[in-house]
Amino acid sequence: MMQRPIGPVAVFGASNFPLAFSTAGGDTASALAAGCPVVVKGHSAHPGTGEIVAQAIDAAVKACGLHPGVFSLVQGGKRDVGEALVQHPLIKAVGFTGSLGGGRALFDLCARRPEPIPFFGELGSVNPMFLLPAAVGARGAAIAAGWAGSLTMGAGQFCTNPGIAVVIDGPEAQAFIDAAKAAVEKVGAQTMLTDGIAEAYRSGRDRVAAASGVRAVLTSMCDLRQATPYLFEVSGADWLANHALGEEVFGPLGLIVRVRDLAEMQAIAGSLEGQLTCTLHVDPADYPAAKTLLPLLERKAGRVLANGFPTGVEVCEAQVHGGPYPASTNFGATAVGTLSIRRWLRPVAYQNLPPELFPQDL
């Protein structure tokens, strides 16, 4: 058996990552590594950057003596351009990083084709953190400071931004919240990448603020493309009663969920939709509790962290940047790491073939 390239791949550039997830980002790199030609639909938020990167790829194609059709960039147009690309009969798979609505529309389009094709979409995540008691008691302030840095990094415009912190209520939880507020309120306004992202951030903030049982911990003023951080808190019962609180707010907004006990923390974990990441903050005394949470979290997320923050995504053999829907549309795939190449490959078995007929690679 050997892996064969699936064929030409359409890649949609991401609004929030002009480099890492766009013209020459992970989808393009992994598809080329698999031996597939790539057609990139450039994102309208950064057409100049996309053009410059495409020129660099074109220079590399020529320097390596490859066929000029190995890479193409399509710029401009409205939604119909992307739809036409997905529906082209020579396209054999699609890679996408973006909104749930846009990704689901492309996913359905791929499925409705006369020849359905795989769609690999990364559609967002709230990346919850679960703070266990011994860790909070021993180093709650340090965890709060680290969370503030991860939450507000790049104006919160990371798909792995940890937007929710779940903590068992009590004096240590309040100390953690106070420390998080002190750390976050030091962060000034940051410019978001597009007007659309900024508008969606304000809309998400208003949705969270208006939800039943939600209380403001830190509020600020933001307008136009200037994003300022917000912190809110809610009880575990109110969070469980409102599915919308588990939806992503793309930006530097944190929601702290105060739960009564470990059982309610487990209920929060069990109610989650698919996530890119879930994080445990634990000390050795927390290990028994962590062992009860892990079977839940590994069914919800593609990457489970301990005592860290998910906004660092290393490109390596073991990386998984994906998860159950709606984090991604294929739970068995990753958009980052060497395993991402497997998305664009098709296994072929050769049974009883004479060695003289083997493909050259065999």
261, HSE (Cβ side, Cα atoms, 13 Å):
1
Please tell me what DSSP assigns to residue 64. Answer: T
CA-based nearest residue to 31, from 345, 359, 358: 345
Cα–Cα distances in Å, from 336 out to 20, 252, 339? 10, 23, 7
| φ/ψ (deg, to 5) at 235 | -75, 160
122 — alpha (psi -120 to 50), left (phi > 0) or beta?
beta
Whole-number Å distance between alpha carbons of 300 and 183: 29
Peptide bond into 295 cis (omega under 30): no
Write out the catalytic residue numbers: 122, 159
Contact 216, 238 (CB under 8 A): no
**Cα separation, 211 vs 338, whole angstroms:** 41
Tell me if 7 sits within 8 A of 38, measured CB to CB.
Answer: no
Cross-sheet strand order for the sheet of 164-168? 215-218, 230-235, 253-259, 164-168, 129-131, 275-281, 301-306
